[in-house]
Amino acid sequence: MRIDTDNNNVVLTDVRDFDVNHIFDCGQCFRFNRIDENTYMGVACGRALRISQNSGDITLFNTTVDDFNDIWHDFFDFGTDYSEIKDALARDDVMREACRFGGGIRILRQPLWETVVSFIISASNNIPRIKGIIERLCESFGDAIRFEGKTFHTFPAASVLAELSVEDLSVIRAGFRDKYIIDAANKFTSGALCEEYIRSLSTPEAKKALMSINGVGNKVSDCILLFGLNRADSFPVDVWIKRIIEHCYFDSEQSIDTISRFAEEKFGSLGGYAQQYLFYWARENKIGIN
């Protein structure tokens, strides 16, 4: 990959294993929206970004090389060799096709606090509604930032939300999730949960710590581990993944525990990547989820 500049834009050429549609449409991130073919705009890490792709060339608009090196390089996980990951996973026909179909997926390195709240909101919800709730949260309690003539908002800090009541938070229309968001904010602000400490824990220990937040269960904690803590050994199992694994690898219905054990044994430390490839491939092709 080569990094160049073009006026106020950063241009990445000869990028491998990267597809903006795969990355932003696989259910891992809720603040980027498609504005044109192969072009998305959103907010992450306190910055707004417009990003566009033309084959193997990626353009990050109105940003700097310093911002790319300091923020976007890690956010888009450019330090990871995804070709190597796909080669390791593509050991059977199912995974070979899933890795081929969603070959441009990268697991974004999202801020932990934002990931915690986003996946609390995601529980028993659909993607359009999740996005709407998160945008209302940011517009109501985040900081305004101007980008390309438009106003965006940062994700509100835990300390900001900890000052709110459940009634204050009702403006985001998250329903029963309001009290869970407030509980998470209180725990992160009080020190009951500390990001540095959570990152120091093993994956099972970190999962247990996250599940101390009201409303964070097995699936949500696994999503937080994968998308907010970069624990690729985490394999989130919801009803859709359960059906996909049953369809592709079993002849009958299985328990969530059985699916989780199967994924751990089959995919090991690459389970999170496998989950993303499988989910995107199956959803887009309506495999096992009818």
* Cβ pair 206, 198 in contact under 8 A: yes
Residue 154 sits at the vertex; the CA angle it makes with 206 and 136, to the nearest 5 degrees, is 95
Annotate 170-195 with b (16+ C-beta within 10 A) or e (fewer): eebebeebbebbbbbbbbbbeeebee
In the chain, what is the straight-line distance between the N-terminal and C-terminal CA atoms, in Å?
40
Separation of alpha carbons 160 and 182, rounded Å: 10
Q: Could you say which of 207, 219, 242, 286 is catalytic?
A: 219
286 catalytic residue (yes or no)? no
Which residues belong to the active site? 219
